[in-house]
Amino acid sequence: MLSPAILRLMDIDVRTITDDEVAAWSAGASTGFLNPVGDVDAEARRPDLVLDRTWGAFDGDTVVATLRSFRSQTTVPGGGALEASAVTAVTTTSTHRRRGLASRLVAGELAASVERGEQVSVLIAAEWGIYGRFGYGASTEHQTWMVDALAAQVRHRPQGTVEYVDRDTARALAPEVYERHRSKRPGEISRPDYFWDIDFGILRYPSWPEPKPSFYVLARDPARLVTGVARYSYEEKWEHRQPKGQVTVRLFLTDDPAAEALLWHHLLTLDLTASVRVEDRPADELLPLLLTDARHAQPSGRADFLWIRPLDVAGMLACRSYLVSGQIVLEVVDSAGLAGGRFALDGGPDGASCARTTASPDLTVDAATLGSAYLGGYRVRSLAAAGLVDEHSTSAVARADAMFRSPVTPWCTTWF
């Protein structure tokens, strides 16, 4: 006789949803995120949902766990792009935890992703300990910068101009700047158009707070091409009749270093401003080197951001370029049976080829470790030192470390 716990588990149906279940799914997602608004967001969410990518765990008519994904592309070293499934809205209602529902949802989505021919699955992990067991590895980092605007000075006045514009003008031009930036930065993902409406406060779920009033500026190069877009808010503060206002930057987007310098110069010369705070900046932030005194800019909150789950190992390894030329045989271990096998990689600065092989492996890694190493943000030698890479041939770790390094630090700016 089956136990009551097993019977309750069998009663829960895990599947993609239908159109008339959007409200129930939205209510389940809201409850899972501890948002009491419930299904108020249903109609607002409907345009964002691709039904055959939107998963629910049904206890009767009630959705008690959720997951959804959307098609995207992830830029890789060398400028190529992987086909990716971007996973988000992964929740489990507190009354239904410890029943394996998240595992079933993720397994269903990953299997569907393989059938769709996507080479990787990507997500932003709410908690570090959850997703490694599903084969995801942290692959990019980001951080926050706080700048003393009263003391910081940009070393050289950059060429070009900065101008204020209205929200709609900034919204219209930002995607073009982003696409030029994305093509050069490993880790960035393609954005659905409605993401820009969310970024600029044009589209907002009812449960979300009202966005703060913002200023919008464009950076233009000497030829008048728009090379940067920023959106920021100002909080007025005074101490002993001295201005101590803080600027908080909500969007800082550029496609070249000159535009970065232009926007930083603008932000650090604002009147009545004592500090400038910018979140979601790369691990190799240029700012300190732009200043006459780098100590006037302080980083904080450096953390993982984009996680990668390999699905088509040969395809993803062949998609990117490598810093130095070399050959290596990787044994990939995948408990889910999706990406495991032995792969011969021959890569260099001009591209790569990769195919399954029966040759003896130089290194053994699990799927999550390959996800971390893939973009070059986490060094192979560091992963090996942490016991996450098994070396089978002399200098294989050093060879892979040299190959997988990226000349451009991976970075993702897109919350999803």
Q: Which helix (H) or strand (E) holds 122?
A: strand 120-124
- 410 domain residue, yes or no: no
Question: pTM for the whole thing?
Answer: 0.94
One domain, residues 152 and 283: yes
- Summarize pLDDT for 103-123 with one digit per residue, the tens: 999 999 999 999 999 999 999
148 and 80 within one domain: no
* Other CB atoms within 10 A of residue 32 CB: 20
The pLDDT of 74-84, averaged and rounded, is: 98
> CATH code at 338?
3.30.1050.10
Q: What is the pLDDT of residues 282-331, one digit of tens each?
A: 999 999 999 999 999 999 999 999 999 999 999 999 999 999 999 999 99
Q: Which stretches does DSSP call E strand in 178-262?
A: 215-220, 226-235, 238-239, 242-243, 245-254
Band (203; pLDDT cuts 50, 70, 90): confident
**Residue that wins the pLDDT comparison between 114 and 208:** 114
Count of beta carbons in the 10 Å neighbourhood of residue 362: 22
**Strand arrangement of the beta sheet that strand 341-348 belongs to:** 351-356, 341-348, 326-333, 363-366, 390-391
pLDDT at 39 over 80: no
* 33 is a catalytic site residue: no
d(CA 391, CA 409): 25
Q: Can you give the pLDDT at residue 40?
A: 58
3-class DSSP state for residue 270? coil
Do 58 and 157 sit in the same domain of this protein?
no
Give the pLDDT of residue 37: 63
* Domain around 382: 312-404
Residue 208 pLDDT grade (very low, low, confident, very high; cuts 50, 70, 90): confident
CA–CA distance from 39 to each of 44, 68, 90, 205 (Å)? 10, 16, 16, 11
Instruction: Say if 55 falls within a structural domain.
Output: yes
In angstroms, the Cα distances linking 104 to 10, 17, 229 are 12, 15, 41
Do 219 and 227 meet the contact criterion of CB atoms below 8 Å apart?
Answer: yes
Nearest-angstrom CA–CA distance, 211 and 4:
47
Among candidates 143, 142, 164, which has minimal Cα distance to 266?
A: 164
**Judgement on whether residues 175 and 281 belong to the same structural domain of the protein:** yes
**pLDDT recorded at residue 10:** 58
Shared-domain flag, residues 324 and 246: no
Cα distance between residue 381 and residue 391, in whole Å: 11
**Structure confidence at residue 2 as a pLDDT band (50, 70, 90):** very low
User: Does the pLDDT at position 349 exceed 70?
Assistant: yes
Residue 8 pLDDT more than 70? no
Please give the average per-residue pLDDT across 349-377, as a whole number: 98
Per the prediction, the chain carries an average pLDDT of: 94
Q: Is residue 109 part of a domain?
A: yes
> Is the same domain home to 272 and 322?
no
Instruction: Supply angle C-alpha 139, 142, 146, rounded to 5.
Output: 170
Q: Are 282 and 409 a contacting pair, CB within 8 Å?
A: yes
Q: Is residue 266 part of a domain?
A: yes
Identify the active-site residue in 70, 374, 378, 416: 416
> 255 with 381, same domain?
no
Task: Assess whether 365 and 397 both reside in one domain.
Answer: yes
Structure tokens belonging to residue 173: 């031009």
Domain count within the chain: 3
pLDDT bin (cut points 50, 70, 90) of residue 255 is very high
**E strands along 130-269, which residues?**
137-138, 141-148, 161-165, 215-220, 226-235, 238-239, 242-243, 245-254
Point out the domain boundary residue: 75, 103, 118: 118
5 DSSP β-pair partners: none
pLDDT of residue 59: 97
pLDDT of the residue at 3: 45
Same domain, 244 and 352: no
Flag whether 248 is in a domain: yes
Based on the fold, state whether residues 332 and 366 are members of the same structural domain: yes
Say whether 416 is catalytic.
yes
How far apart, in whole angstroms, are the C-alpha atoms of residue 304 and residue 140? 6
The tens digit of pLDDT for each residue in 147-157 reads 999 999 999 98
Contacts of 237-243 with CB under 8 Å at 24 or more apart are 237/274, 243/271, 243/272, 243/273, 243/274
Residue 126 lies in a domain: no
Tokens at residue 270, please?
A: 């604002």
Instruction: Give me the percent of the chain exceeding a pLDDT of 70.
Output: 96
Strands 161-165 and 297-304: unpaired
Furthest CA-CA distance within the chain: 78
**What CATH number is associated with residue 160?**
3.40.630.30
How far apart, in whole angstroms, are the C-alpha atoms of residue 117 and residue 97? 31
- Verify that 161 and 95 share a domain, yes or no: no
Whether the Cβ atoms of residue 366 and residue 373 lie closer than 8 Å to each other: no
The residue assigned the tokens 């569907």 is 112
Q: How far apart are CA 245 and CA 238, in angstroms?
A: 7
Per-residue model confidence (pLDDT) at position 85: 98
Residue 258 lies in a domain: yes
Mean pLDDT computed over 361-378 = 98
243-148-184 Cα angle (round to 5) = 130
Among the listed residues 70, 131, 178, 200, the single catalytic one is 131
Question: Can you say whether residue 268 is alpha, beta or left, with left for phi > 0 and alpha for psi between -120 and 50 degrees?
Answer: alpha
Per the CB < 8 A criterion, the answer to whether 388 and 381 are in contact is no
Residues 148 and 268 in one domain: yes
DSSP string computed for 317-379: HHHS--SS-EEEEEEEE-TTSSS-EEEEEEEETTEEEEEE--SPPSEEEEHHHHHHHHTSSS-
Position 36 pLDDT exceeds 90: no
Structure confidence at residue 58 (pLDDT): 98
Locus of tokens 């604002």:
270
